[in-house]
Structure 1
């Protein structure tokens, strides 16, 4: 039934869960549609005033977050004891619904989603904010394929008291415990807790189910804290060994044994994401060799690139990607001038075949800029990077982690000057 909340006209319910209900609403003050989340503080009794203060504090913090992967927070407050957040209305489907319909996802798509989440976490953690409740229902895929991470700050506002297990708190739900880090369940949340939850999500994207699925919140906590993670190979064959190892690292029981940061996770996931330079093309071997090169084995990777280019049936676009890989290996081996000449040769063919705005062309131009810096041709590098900065802003989608890289390198060069 239609109703109002202050100036907001609630038009239709979008969904509900253990933490409350989300409505689509009209904001007549700004003539826009918004999402209004009403929190359900039932069970807090006399603690409601404390909860309200904590909620308003967290809402103020998270409203400062500005990232393409985080919906904007427009307003927050309390009306007659009802806590609410007013946010950007994000069209799309929850990742939980996509998993229900499609089951396990292709490796490149799963890695791409996880990398987008890691990019958001890297930004949020840099602002001192931990999500605390990362799960598929809090991940929205827009019609254009972009990912939005929902509900920053909500779990922090409803955090149990120190020493109280999360699954006995009034706001706990089994669906949350399915993705919860062992230390978080007993009130010790750290940025690495988000990485554990991301590991659970990535596991589900690859296996079609989370690592632990027992229906009892207590048993789920026990499994997260004590049971070995069921091997991904038991659910699906053909997952790249490096990706399996990354999932295992994210799901380490001890947060100190997980990857050092979301930034590191984002970089590692790039080996399996289709970015058209090495991983978005038809031949699956390209992703494996790229991962080998990035892991510090350029000589071995160089041999494998050359073997791939000699293989029968490899397409022209794949050959160009392999030639880019060869040049990067040569550069990593100290033959900078040779690497630069190789990349310039590839660039002309990439522009002709793919077009000047293709991400692979932009990536090759950036690598040429990096090599020009290494050869001491700083003026030429800065001219290239200035042109590339504008082209990346125009041709790369919002949220692409490559946007801003040329600007960052230019700033470093300016400081060096």
Structure 2
């Protein structure tokens, strides 16, 4: 069994599909566990494919969104292309569908809205996913949705004008969710919206709109056959949601909703706002006290147990991730703790807003870790902005209000 890829120590296989094999690996250079996706270019066209892949990897590594796993590294090693990414806990949406079948309307709409939010960001950066499907959507233990494999399909698909019908690894699993225009090599942002429509249809109906026949027949159905009505699979789906799915599955890209931003807004009508009613879990204060008492290793274990427990709210899950990262830092793994806090911060900002006290707390802890790593200039820049935000957003009398200013003064004295 393969055990290494350059400096990465491959520990266990996480899964495989038409495009490659994904491994969990350890990166000793950064002291963190990562996901490594290996893609053999032999079936795709060798040198040309490698150039496309590396170009797309460079582009997608610049994407920064809570719903997109970070890309840390990419390259070619002994004839195989590889991507090194953030290791995301959870399970694929395809596995969830296998276990649960159709999903409640609010949950299906919530998942689709999360994907639309990611697409809105990516399309704004000029990036189209091209291969949206349940196996490329990960549901984390806290219920977040992560969209995987940005850029991979773009690197491996034929250029405009080249047929896809005989592509070496064009699998039925991909064709089932593919927009009609992609069959002839044309891909636009609205192609992702069509694929999202197929996914949402499956969440509500228990199956995608078209599933039977050869790859060629599936292409033909997407391009020409009317979409089977959702009402034929399930009663009680709101009329507005049915209309949205029908709009996403229009044959002509110009007839679909105008953007992922529009789709995200429309889906909000069927997604309850739970953030305001989320309560703080009592175990958070207990474990924090354990950490502050000088027992970070034990506290880290208890944070892991809490995050694995069912029913933990999204806000509390993020708070537990912050606490676990602080434990990691206290145990000497400072860079790993810093990377985790930066990841959590992006999600907290998206969920709670930039002025929330939890967001300000995480920013402060990031500055502390930067100081510990000797990156004083970066820490000072962060603290100057944070001191202004704390003075504006924290109430008078809050003991945290002057902490950034105080740490900044200590840094100045050290310099």
Interval containing the TM-score (normalised by the shorter chain) = 0.5 to 0.7
Matches of 2:172 and 2:253, distance apart in 1: 22
Change (3 A) 1:200 1:24: same
- Answer whether contact 2:41 2:50 (CA < 8 A) is retained: no
CA positional deviation for 1:140 = 0.1
User: SS of the counterpart of 1:13?
Assistant: strand
Structure 1: 5+ residue runs without aligned partners?
Answer: 281-356, 359-386, 396-406, 411-417
Give the total of aligned pairs: 292
The residue that corresponds to 1:146 in the other structure is 144
With the length of structure 1 as denominator, give the TM-score of the two structures.
0.67
Closer, same or farther in 2 for the Cα pair 1:109/1:39, shift >3 Å?
same
Q: Please give the alpha-carbon distance, in whole angstroms, between the structure 1 residues aligned to 2:75 and 2:228.
A: 43
Partners of 2:264 and 2:201 in 1: CA distance: 16
Q: Deviations over 1:304-352 (max 9, x none)?
A: xxxxxxxxxxxxxxxxxxxxxxxxxxxxxxxxxxxxxxxxxxxxxxxxx
Tell me: CA distance 1:182–1:4, structure 2 relative to 1, closer, same or farther (3 Å).
Answer: same
Separation of aligned partners in 1, 2:19 and 2:254: 30
Pair 1:388–1:166, CA change in 2 (3 A): closer
Alignment CA distance shift 1:388-1:88 (3 Å): closer
Contact 2:103–2:203 under 8 Å retained in 1: yes
SS in 2 for 1:42: helix
Aligned with 1:24: secondary structure? strand
Equivalent in the alignment of 1:124: 122
Other-structure match for 2:17? 17
Residue of structure 1 in register with 2:197 after alignment: 199
- Report the equivalent of 1:167: 165
CA apart distance, 1:145: 0.7
CA distance in 2, matches of 1:241, 1:147: 25
SS of match in other structure, 1:166: coil
Aligned residue number for residue 180 of structure 2: 182
Q: In the alignment, does 2:388 pair up with 1:390?
A: no
Determine helix, strand or coil for the equivalent of 2:88: coil
For structure 2, the residue ranges without an aligned partner over 5 or more in a row are 278-314, 317-351, 361-388, 393-415
Structure 1 counterpart of 2:132:
134
**Who is 1:155 aligned against?**
153
Alpha-carbon distance in structure 2 between the residues aligned to 1:120 and 1:135 = 14
SS at match of 1:193: helix
Q: TM-score, normalised by structure 2?
A: 0.67
Whether the 8 Å contact between 1:212 and 1:223 is mirrored in structure 2 is yes
Deviation by residue 1:156-197 (Cα, 9 ceiling, x = unmatched):
000113323323211311100000000011100000000000
Alpha-carbon deviations, 1:15-47, whole Å to 9, x = none?
Answer: 000000000001010111100000132324xx3
CA distance in 2, matches of 1:234, 1:213: 15
- Return closer, same or farther for 1:40/1:134 CA change in 2, 3 Å cut-off: same
Whole-angstrom distance in 1 between the partners of 2:274 and 2:28: 44
For 2:118 and 2:262, the matched residues in 1 are separated by: 13
Cα offset for 1:392? 7.8
Between the aligned partners of 2:162 and 2:358, the Cα distance in structure 1 is: 47
Partner Cα distance (2:56, 2:83) in 1: 11
Alpha carbons 1:167, 1:177 under 8 Å: kept: no
Report the counterpart of residue 225 of structure 1 in structure 2.
223
Contact persistence 1:42–1:170 (CA under 8 A): no
Sort the Cα spacing of 1:260 and 1:392 in 2 relative to 1 into closer, same or farther, 3 A.
farther
CA distance in structure 2 between the aligned counterparts of 1:167 and 1:199, rounded to whole angstroms: 22
User: How big is the shift at 1:240?
Assistant: 0.3
SS of equivalent residue, structure 2 residue 197? helix
2:90 corresponding residue in structure 1: 92
RMSD across aligned positions (CA)? 2.4
2:264 match: 266
Corresponding position of 2:80? 82
Match of 2:41 in 1: 41
Deviates more, 1:212-221 or 1:151-160: 212-221
8 A Cα contact 1:43 1:170, kept in partner:
yes
